[in-house]
Amino acid sequence: MPVPLLSRQGWRHSQHPEKTGFTMEAQVPALQRRQNVRFASGDTSCAAWHYPGSNGGCVIMAGGTAVTKEPASDLFAARFNDAGFAVLAFDHRRFGESGGTPRQIVRFDEQVADWHAAIAYAATLPDVDPDRIALWGFSLAGGHIFRVAADHPRLAAAIAQTPLVDGRAVAPHALRAMTPLAMLGLFGRAVADALGGLVGREPLLVPAAGPRGAVASLTTPDAMDGDQALDPEGRYANWDQTVAARIALRLGGYRPGRHAARIRCPLLVIVCDQDQSVLPRPAVRAARNAPRSEVVRLTGRHYAPFLESHEQAVAAQLSFLRKHLASRDFH
């Protein structure tokens, strides 16, 4: 069983030593409270931040495509943790500080397996009630939420923010956002990358996002909002914003929203009405098929929850988490 690398600095024990929760020292910022941990997944391990919580609830978080844990989760994780929830924000294998080679390759089944491993690991943390675990993901990871939640009836809640739920619906729109030459360049590189992978060659990488005309994984009008939304101050110098080109051959067939009807936990879906990257309608349709779903519609494009609609998104998500991860005695 993996052992969490916990520090009690910035924390004091509860007045009730028989309980395993902790009480936050309010003066310590959440980003200073968090600790590096790792957990096993498949034949490697995933790197994560663990923000110890005080109320027994836990939110597991990850970002989409090539977005690593810090730019994906920092803005939201700190707010969740300040509200008393533990947070486990992790990198999918092959990305960020996680293990796995070759690097920068998105394999959907592997990433879903990483979520399952994260849930199992979170349940072992001393400040977490295994019956009060929630999931949070955006974009591609928001799509993974539908698959993972469908397979975990014990989950307390799940949040899918601007999720990619239907690659088949999104792909034609994404292709129209590309110039013909860029489309030929991307798919030529994708085929070469896939074939090279069969014989052990290093991945052929492309930018995860680019302007129209670029040979990049995504060139929709809001694709380039990512830097402003996720790293406006350039703090994440080690964030590799590339992805193996073969993703272009697979994304159109990825339809995690089809699992919505099997999700038994409460599900919050955040949709942005001007989203040009994953489109709002597929997410709304998928949410309607989940028995206990709520939809919050925001004004803005794909990254609006990190930008102009951030406070509205945080308020909706905190309200949802407080409702479904309600505090109770935790032993």
What six digits make up the tokens of 278? 């994953």
pLDDT computed for residue 329 by the predictor? 57
Show the CA angle centred on residue 92, arms to residues 143 and 304, nearest 5°: 50
Strand order in the sheet with 35-41: 35-41, 44-51, 86-90, 58-62, 133-139, 157-163, 267-272, 293-298
What six digits make up the tokens of 1? 């069983």
pLDDT computed for residue 330 by the predictor? 53
pLDDT computed for residue 16 by the predictor? 32
Sign of the alpha-carbon torsion through 121, 88, 319, 222: negative
Establish whether the linkage from the previous residue to 282 is cis, with ω within 30° of 0. Answer: no
- 198, burial (CB in 10 Å: exposed 0-12, middle 13-18, buried 19+): exposed
Neighbours of 310 (CB within 10 A): 18
pLDDT computed for residue 181 by the predictor? 98
- DSSP summary character for residue 201: P
d(CA 88, CA 85): 10
What six digits make up the tokens of 86? 């533990």
Per-10-residue mean pLDDT of the chain, 331 residues long, equals 32 31 54 94 98 97 97 97 97 98 98 98 97 98 98 96 97 96 98 97 98 97 96 95 98 97 98 98 98 98 98 98 80 51
pLDDT computed for residue 328 by the predictor? 63
